[in-house]
Amino acid sequence: MDVILHIGAHRTGTSSLQAWLMQNEEVLADTGTAVWGPERTRAGLFAGLIKRPDLVNGEDERAARRAATRIRMEIDRLEEAGVQRLIVSEENVMGTMPVCLDHATLYPDLRGRLDRVAEAFGPHLTGVALSVRRSDQWWASVLAVAQARGADAPGARLLDRLAQHPRSWRRVVQVVRSAFGLPVTVWSFEGLLGAHAAQLRAMAPGAGLPSGLYEQHCVRNAAPRVAARGQGAPATGGNTRYMPFSTRQRGEMTLRYLEDLAWLRSAPPGVVYVEMDAETPGAHPGMAAEEEGLFHDEQKRGLG
């Protein structure tokens, strides 16, 4: 049985995909595909696994061992029942947005977090998937969520650091590949947002998609609108979104993102990049797109 772990990233349509998978859970089951989303992973299944590595204590380690036993027993049970593939979707495996903001970089404690999850799944895991997004839009979305939760508007120093930090999505993908030692499937937020069937095919190419799948292209949790505060030009209505970065900063960030995409297109060993398919004929990395927002946020707050 194939076990594919979808790890996010945050603010790249993850909650929309999770909602679609759960809405179609019974239909997908008819073709041998089982789904574990946040409703399952955050109900105790991942207890002890998702925590900042520097805060892990003895009780967390014991809980992680119990979680590993539960995960492997559940996978064995599904395999015995004839399930052909299991999709596990949990973006907090990568870390949390507050930690990214605290360190002003993409998932600074990624490797330590992934090592714990990789150990829990053991040899059952067969693949990993994640999505990436234009850096200026990703950070603007993260900052909008932070302000909606009560954080101050970002200052010029933080914005400069976010714009200039060298850690890129390329490095994130490399860390994921190294931690799991498995094929990593990647797609862009701009290319496959809302194309949930295409995302499922990217994760599980052998999965037959049944008839009767519904709410394709649904979008969950758009980033909250932010009142005009601090540097930048926040949304004032219509389709304008919060964007605190200057034109120069956005240009620098977009250039690095395009370099990331060029690297992904070069097919580095162990990485499969899915840019678009027939369902998204006009997709382009530079396009703005609707996004997810605060779905599951109450649960996420407890996963530091």
**Residue 251 counted as domain residue:** no
Tens digit of each residue's pLDDT (9 = 90 or more) over 80-139 = 999 999 999 999 999 999 999 999 999 999 999 999 999 999 999 999 999 999 999 999
234 found inside a domain: no
Task: Please check whether residue 194 lies inside any domain of the structure.
Answer: yes
Residue 31: CB atoms within 10 A of its CB come to 12
Domain total of the chain: 1
* Whole-number Å distance between alpha carbons of 92 and 104: 17
pTM for the whole structure: 0.86
Give the pLDDT confidence of 186-210 residue by residue, as tens digits: 999 999 988 999 999 999 998 877 7
CA nearest neighbour of 135 among 276, 296, 259: 259
Q: What is the CATH number of the domain that holds 17?
A: 3.40.50
Phi, psi dihedrals of residue 236, rounded to the nearest 5°: -120, 5
Angle, helix 196-203 to helix 14-23, in steps of 10 degrees: 90
CA 87 → CA 188, 264, 274, 285, distances in Å? 19, 23, 17, 26
Tell me, yes or no, whether 161 lies in a domain: no
Q: Domain for residue 110, yes or no?
A: yes
Give domain status of residue 231, yes or no.
Answer: no
3-state secondary structure (DSSP) of residue 4 = strand
Residue 103 lies in a domain: yes
In a domain, 170, yes or no: yes
Q: Which domain holds residue 144?
A: 2-152+166-225+258-295
CB neighbour list of residue 73: distance below 8 Å, 6 or more residues apart: none
